[in-house]
Amino acid sequence: QKEVEQDPGPLSVPEGAIVSLNCTYSNSAFQYFMWYRQYSRKGPELLMYTYSSGNKEDGRFTAQVDKSSKYISLFIRDSQPSDSATYLCAMFKNTNAGKSTFGDGTTLTVKP
Amino acid sequence: NAGVTQTPKFRILKIGQSMTLQCTQDMNHNYMYWYRQDPGMGLKLIYYSVGAGITDKGEVPNGYNVSRSTTEDFPLRLELAAPSQTSVYFCASSYSGTRSYGYTFGSGTRLTVV
């Protein structure tokens, strides 16, 4: 069983929709949680970084962490065609040299 | 500020050949990593380094080697290339410990072994 499971998608939504991307994890030792966005044929870029349970907002993006349920989510409000990309969740433990474990990614297409 | 630079961007290797993927960062990050990404899959850790002179294996190290002689550079060596090593390779770096704010990735090297 994988330590990190990500909703596989693909996901296709109309412009302006609210998007929810989700990951679950099995190891309670994970303490730091990240979302990366990866455009086609590019390297991933860090979108959101959170440590504690709760919500963190940055513009149209909200990262949510529920450590008791071992569940993280990324919400995108007012989605735009430029949000079309693959989104990867990632997490790492406190004492393992920052080695991140990644989900397999969810590919999102936002249609104009 | 260049961030993480990877070369080459593309390469085709024949079975049994060797090559070195170059990675350099100019952010003075202690931690550096090599990941591979197969189509439709997430990233799998090959090797990582917590500082110059210190390297360790990740999840899928077989067929690869690394060195870290300086803070800036972290080359990945492929010996005796096999078709199973066809993949996209990403180098990444980060600050250490609780200063870590996630990775900065390079743009990747797309490798095909034929």
CA distance B47 to B96: 16
- pLDDT score, position B100: 62
| Cβ-based neighbours of A98, under 8 Å, separated by 6 or more | A92, B31, B33, B94, B96, B97, B100
pLDDT over 90 (residue B84): yes
pLDDT over 90 (residue A96): no
CB within 8 Å: A46 and B107? no
Among candidates A32, A42, A102 on the partner chain, residue whose Cβ is nearest the Cβ of B43: A102
Helices and strands counted in chain A (H then E): 0, 11
pLDDT over 90 (residue B92): yes
Cis bond leading into B61, ω under 30°?
Answer: no
The average confidence (pLDDT) of chain B is: 93
Q: What's the pLDDT tens digit per position in A1-59?
A: 789 999 888 999 999 999 999 999 999 989 889 999 999 999 999 999 888 788 999 99
Among candidates A32, A43, A49 on the partner chain, residue whose Cβ is nearest the Cβ of B105: A43
- pLDDT score, position B98: 56
Structure tokens at A26: 């099995």
Q: Which residues on chain B are in Cβ contact (under 8 Å) with A88?
A: 42-43
Q: What's the pLDDT tens digit per position in A44-66?
A: 999 998 887 889 999 999 999 99
